[in-house]
Structure 1
């Protein structure tokens, strides 16, 4: 089975369509980026998972990430830009021969999709709740422009909501692990109404 590099981060949860700028300074992840850059475009994929709370602990679910651009600095560090994809399982974490970074088997974990009409209604309801949620915190015109520029697929509308909620990373992880898109949108509304869930699903 194909193995993919694993990049644990303490505050980052990946959702489809999310653009992620990162500064790479640890030697093991500099090695990872150099090896990814040696591959053909379209094959530069790795996995980001939420790290912690203890060293060596990872969540059961992470997200695929495609490396879009990388710039190496004079000191050997990198500035990179990635795009988030679908979620995947995180298990069987191990070091490959000659590798400084960990890797995992490529195990997709597709989000359950249902009737498009039901998803569209759930997305509309969640977006209306979000408008109220940020009513006194965001420029209304900028917000509406951002919403208007979202893809029509409710999957990406859900991603927009998930990354813009003011909640701890562990609650974003709960959104990632929701069994279906409708469940993800409903959980986002619950978070907006009730505040942080403070869920944790870490495992060794």
Structure 2
């Protein structure tokens, strides 16, 4: 993460019931004029913008209707269509806290990175083993090829904090639980929550 130049301010896409986790992917169709302008500025600049969950109807004051923590993402691919809209893939990079909302043609905020580090490091191996057991449980009833692909993907991740976010992105569906998990600052607490949630299989 230290090799990335995280901007102090960025555009923010406000979406109802949508939470992106670091290391997850989010396909988006950009059609609103304000977000088309945001995307153009993003591609001409850092290629970063954030996604934030709307907690109710959008108001003129995002601070009153937007969750305090979202995820900054990097535009991995973007294709403009003939009608001026765009399809893109946003790759989650890091949790961010929205510290101040600024005036602009689209939602714009000052941000503070919220790093995710698993501590103590001596327990990383045990945390990984517990998460891999949860992967086996949550994928048990999936088709063989899908299960194998997911198992192969997760088995290559050696950081329990990253694996927890990948699992949340892939397997957790309830919008409120996703946002609550995103906002947990303790990686160890997130891992414990995920293992308990998935110990009996896929969540309903």
Please state which band the TM-score falls in when normalised by the shorter chain: 0.7 to 0.9
Matches within 5 A, 1:111-190: 111-136=116-141, 138-150=142-154, 151-190=157-196
TM-score for the superposition, normalised by structure 1:
0.82
Structure 2 unaligned segments of length 5 or more: list them: 1-6, 60-64
Task: State the secondary structure of the residue aligned to 1:14.
Answer: coil
Please state how far the C-alpha of 1:22 moved relative to its aligned partner. Answer: 0.6
How high is the TM-score relative to the length of structure 2? 0.82
- Any conservation in 1 of the 2:137–2:200 contact (CA below 8 Å)? no
> CA distance change for structure 1 residues 76 and 58 in 2, over 3 Å: closer, same or farther?
same
Gaps of 5+ in 1: 196-204
Q: Structure 2: how far apart are the matches of 1:83 and 1:183?
A: 24
Which shows bigger deviation, 150-159 or 83-92? 150-159
Q: Does 1:49 align with 2:52?
A: yes
Structure 1 contact 123–185 (Cα < 8 Å) conserved: no
Q: CA RMSD in A?
A: 2.3
**For residues 147 and 5 of structure 1, do their structure 2 counterparts lie closer, same or farther at Cα, with a shift above 3 Å needed?**
same
| Partner residue of 1:11 out of 6, 17, 25 | 17
Aligned length in residues: 189
The answer to whether structure 1 residue 72 and structure 2 residue 80 are counterparts is yes
Write the deviation string for residues 44-77 of structure 1: whole angstroms up to 9, x where unpaired.
1111111123323111111111112211111110
